[in-house]
A and B are shown apart, each in its own frame.
Chain A
Amino acid sequence: MSSEVKLDAKIPDGPLAEKWDRHQFNLKLVNPANKKKFQIIVVGTGLAGASAAATLAELGYNVKNFCIQDSPRRAHSIAAQGGINAAKNYANDGDSVWRLFYDTIKGGDFRAREGNVYRLAQLSCNIIDHCVAQGIPFARDYGGLLDNRSFGGAQVSRTFYAKGQTGQQLLLGAYSALMRQVATGKVTLFPRREMLDLVTVDGKARGIVTRNLITGDIETYDAHAVVLATGGYGNVFNLSTNAMASNVTAAFRAYKKGAYFANPCFTQIHPTCIPVHGTYQSKLTLMSESLRNDGRVWVPKKPGDKRRPAEIPESERDYFLENKYPSFGNLVPRDVASRNAKEQCDKGKGVGETGLAVYLDFADAIARDGEDVIAGKYGNLFEMYEKITGENPYKTPMMIYPAVHYTMGGLWVDYNLMSTIDGLFVLGEANFSDHGANRLGASALMQGLADGYFVIPYTIGGYLAGTEFADVNAAKTPEFAESVDAVQRRVDKFLSINGNRTVSEFHRELGLILWEHCGMSRNEEGLVKAKTLIQNLRREFWENVYIPGTGQDLNQSLENAGRVADYLEFGELMVNDALERKESCGCHFNTAYQTDENEAKRDDENFCHVAAWEYTGDDETPRFHKEPLVFENVELSQRSYK
């Protein structure tokens, strides 16, 4: 496989710290009076989508904003718990834009772009200012100033939070701003719509096709540019911490229309989730990583020790993260923490009924700070844990295990957040841009809001001002009708298969294949096997799935069928990507490539690049393209958190 097209990330010239300023100055501006002549489609109302839609409307553009849920306020971002990073250095502990930049690049195991990440670190400060102005009730200290906590992969305190509900509060802020623009008429909302196709005209993104989830109508919408902020694809694994409607469909449909998919195998497995407890399980619940600030992770020293935690004396406990990584201790990055938990369980030291869990213990923190202080920081997380498991974490250690949580991979975008399709922009978790091979905690909220509030408003202007637009009308331009036909045929096909297995059965099976072979650790043999298994499963799906009900109605089985059908193709793309990357880096841990200390061993000579995949037809091998990563400001080093 070789790469013919050179992917141009369009990183501006100049010193790192000046790139974004210079670029903003160089971007063409849309005359204020002309903004109202432009229509922009924003798909998604999470942090990225809602902030983009609101801000574009504030500038005067006309925005059509779509989401699957009944209200924009329910996007998956609402569930983010721990916090949002910003290089404010309010704690006076040595933080800076540079340090946040450096931590993010290093945390991502040197597989992200310097230019993008530096801009992200710069904008982080503006986000906090704006969110406070919106009335977001962040935690404060007794003097009334904003409080910070620390998070995995960093030695400074730079995470802003609102109890364990930071995502909720940030999203409600963005949602409020959005609803203010709905009231002005600048944003039209389209809830309970699922985007099922991207429409391109003359190579430019000019609209979308959606299914109205209540009436079943297939609808078309045109615009001058399309912004996808449709979130991550962690649910390809079936069990993940993502909300149930999170999907790859919007991004995958765009991929099929020519947008390259970057690093699809980079999926983050979060170390602190409530362990799986039954086959009926529908999702996994995250226990925020912020808990690792005060909780200590341990397992019994002796494999197979079935005593209750309180009966295991201090001397017979292995605080494996503290012992192995003395300087970061329990705060090592997620990939490191997850792999180590798995390693302990593989050695038979796992706890709980399934043996697939480790303890996260707050006894020392409670003894030190008192129950009130701990409740103030994590009260709602402790309550959630107790609701789900029936156990009280103030009294007995939590049990946790890694779970799929976040996808660093996503549609390839350049510095302007534009994909390989002109006029198609991708924001938030749906793009691949800033987190390399591993995302640090509290950085996704930062990225989503930076993209939406502060990047896209500029870069989309540059595109609109510098582009000639043909007349396009969803009701007349033939590309729309063709797309509607294709979507309708697919819906009809689903309903006509009339087989014997439910959609969830296929989803569960796919999830197990990927978890086993393309999860926390991978190897060539397993990946090759997974590929065949997925192909077989996909074939069976199209012959043997059963979907009840009709297309002209609210039909949740039909919705799921579309998402799972896309996962069955996308899963194979992940496997292809994992096979192609013959190194280990961050979350991508191929057992053939590890250091003597079992850490991911990168191959910078051959794999210091972004892998971007181009669709070439169903059942065809996608074409591989490389964007080389250039490091001018940081030195590539073996990550060490010792």
Chain B
Amino acid sequence: MISKTINLTLKVWRQNRSDKIGRLETYPAKDISVDMSFLEMLDVVNEDLTRQKKEPIAFDHDCREGICGMCGAVVNGRAHGHEKETTLCQLHMRHFSDGDTIVIEPWRARAFPLIKDLVVDRSALDKVIAAGGYISVNAGGAPDANSLPISRDVAEKAFNAAACIGCGACVAACPNASAMLFVSAKVSHLAALPQGKPEAARRAMAMVRQMDACGFGNCSNETECEAECPKGISIIEIARLNREYFKSEFA
């Protein structure tokens, strides 16, 4: 099948754990079909590098469907690239033009130490969830699922916040490297639901404290996070988080 192809120049961040400092290396990306995803384009470049017996570019990915949150890189200065509400794996090459130069760098944040090339350590986000991102219920004792009606609007509100994929783009986009959007998404998802209310204030406090402890910065309402979030998580969630947080402070 013949589809349109383009040629690009990539400038890619290369760095090993042991290297003190990384560097941008330049690679050509030739005959790239515009139907490819960004990661498929990187696959092609990596196959070329391998054939030349050079080390391919390390990057994280898994589902390639925009849902696992594993992929991510800063593309021409934008987390996950310039397309709105799109993860890197769902960014398609039809959004680039023949002859473009593309700069690809890892997420940069104190809380996300670099592992290799475009791969960083995001385990701090798991620590934040462990601090309170759940409803404390054990398997076995739940009442019938329909014993607790929840209005459609509330379920929808909870769902919208629960759609966060934990990719960390909000942190990468934030000038303070704050994880506030991520934290607020979980806090508001659970606080919206009656099941989550009893622990809501405590949860907010615990998660924010853990966020600070992990080395994420403070939120100063820059709103860059919302602009780059691939799942359209809104900064309204941060306002909701603040509400729960203040409740806990004054409780």
In the bound complex, residues from chain A placing their C-beta under 8 Å from that of B220 are: none
Inter-chain contact B1/A278, CB cutoff 8 Å: yes
Inter-chain contact A137/B189, CB cutoff 8 Å: yes
Find the B residue at minimum CB distance from A180: B134
Which of A9-17, A314-322, A553-561, A603-611 faces chain B? A553-561
In the complex with contacts A70-B122, A278-B3, A140-B150 CB distance below 8 A? yes
Digitize B92-118: 1 where CB-to-A-CB distance is under 8 Å, 0 elsewhere: 101000000000000000000001100
In the bound complex, residues from chain B placing their C-beta under 8 Å from that of A281 are: 40
B178 to chain A, nearest CB (A): 19
A354: Cβ under 8 A from any B Cβ? yes
Number of A-B contacts defined by CB within 8 Å: 216
The number of residues on chain A lying at the interface, defined by a beta carbon within 8 Å of a beta carbon of chain B, is 79
Inter-chain contact A165/B67, CB cutoff 8 Å: yes
Inter-chain contact B133/A176, CB cutoff 8 Å: yes
Complex Cα distance, B67 from A78, in Å, reads 7
In the bound complex, residues from chain B placing their C-beta under 8 Å from that of A143 are: 149
Inter-chain contact A169/B145, CB cutoff 8 Å: no
Digitize A226-256: 1 where CB-to-B-CB distance is under 8 Å, 0 elsewhere: 0000000000000000011100000000000
Within B1-53, the residues touching A (CB, 8 Å) are: 1, 3, 16-17, 33, 35-37, 39-40, 43-44, 47, 49-51, 53
Residue of A131, A135, A139, A453 with most partner-chain B CB within 10 A? A135
Inter-chain contact B69/A502, CB cutoff 8 Å: no
Which of B154-162, B169-177, B237-245 faces chain A? B154-162
A249 to chain B, nearest CB (A): 15
Inter-chain contact A144/B92, CB cutoff 8 Å: no
A202 to chain B, nearest CB (A): 32
Within B60-110, the residues touching A (CB, 8 Å) are: 60-70, 86, 90, 92, 94
B249: Cβ under 8 A from any A Cβ? no
A242 to chain B, nearest CB (A): 9
Inter-chain contact B90/A144, CB cutoff 8 Å: no
Inter-chain contact B143/A137, CB cutoff 8 Å: no
Complex Cα distance, B127 from A71, in Å, reads 10
Inter-chain contact A548/B53, CB cutoff 8 Å: yes
Inter-chain contact B148/A553, CB cutoff 8 Å: no
Which of B190-198, B211-219, B221-229 faces chain A? B190-198
In the complex with contacts A180-B136, A390-B92, A553-B116, A353-B68 CB distance below 8 A? no
In the bound complex, residues from chain A placing their C-beta under 8 Å from that of B44 are: 280
Inter-chain contact B159/A162, CB cutoff 8 Å: yes
In the complex with contacts A244-B64, A282-B64, A132-B159 CB distance below 8 A? no
In the complex with contacts A71-B126, A129-B142, A129-B143, A138-B50 CB distance below 8 A? no
Inter-chain contact A189/B47, CB cutoff 8 Å: no
In the bound complex, residues from chain B placing their C-beta under 8 Å from that of A469 are: none
Which of A50-58, A437-445, A511-519, A592-600 faces chain B? A50-58
B236: Cβ under 8 A from any A Cβ? no
Find the B residue at minimum CB distance from A452: B139
In the bound complex, residues from chain A placing their C-beta under 8 Å from that of B70 are: 69-70, 74
Complex Cα distance, B130 from A177, in Å, reads 9
Find the A residue at minimum CB distance from B156: A137
Inter-chain contact B123/A70, CB cutoff 8 Å: yes
In the complex with contacts A135-B196, A140-B155, A244-B130 CB distance below 8 A? no
Complex Cα distance, B44 from A502, in Å, reads 12
Find the A residue at minimum CB distance from B193: A135
Selected contact of A556 from candidates B56, B123, B125, B196, CB within 8 Å: B56
Complex Cα distance, B86 from A74, in Å, reads 17
In the bound complex, residues from chain A placing their C-beta under 8 Å from that of B55 are: 548-549
In the complex with contacts A74-B70, A137-B193, A163-B63 CB distance below 8 A? no
In the complex with contacts A134-B134, A140-B155, A502-B47, A146-B3 CB distance below 8 A? no
Interface CB pairs A-B, < 8 A, 20: A55-B138, A73-B68, A79-B63, A128-B145, A132-B195, A133-B195, A135-B195, A144-B151, A179-B130, A180-B134, A244-B64, A245-B62, A277-B35, A280-B44, A282-B43, A384-B90, A388-B92, A504-B43, A553-B16, A554-B115
Which residues of A approach B to under 8 Å, CB–CB?
A: 51, 54-55, 58, 69-76, 78-79, 88, 90, 126, 128-135, 137-146, 162-163, 165, 168-169, 172, 175-177, 179-180, 182-183, 189, 191, 214, 243-245, 277-278, 280-283, 285, 353-354, 384, 387-388, 390, 453-454, 457, 502, 504, 546, 548-549, 553-554, 556-557
Which residues of B approach A to under 8 Å, CB–CB?
A: 1, 3, 16-17, 33, 35-37, 39-40, 43-44, 47, 49-51, 53-56, 58, 60-70, 86, 90, 92, 94, 115-116, 119, 121-123, 125-126, 129-131, 133-140, 142-146, 148-152, 155-156, 158-159, 162-163, 165-166, 189-190, 193, 195-196
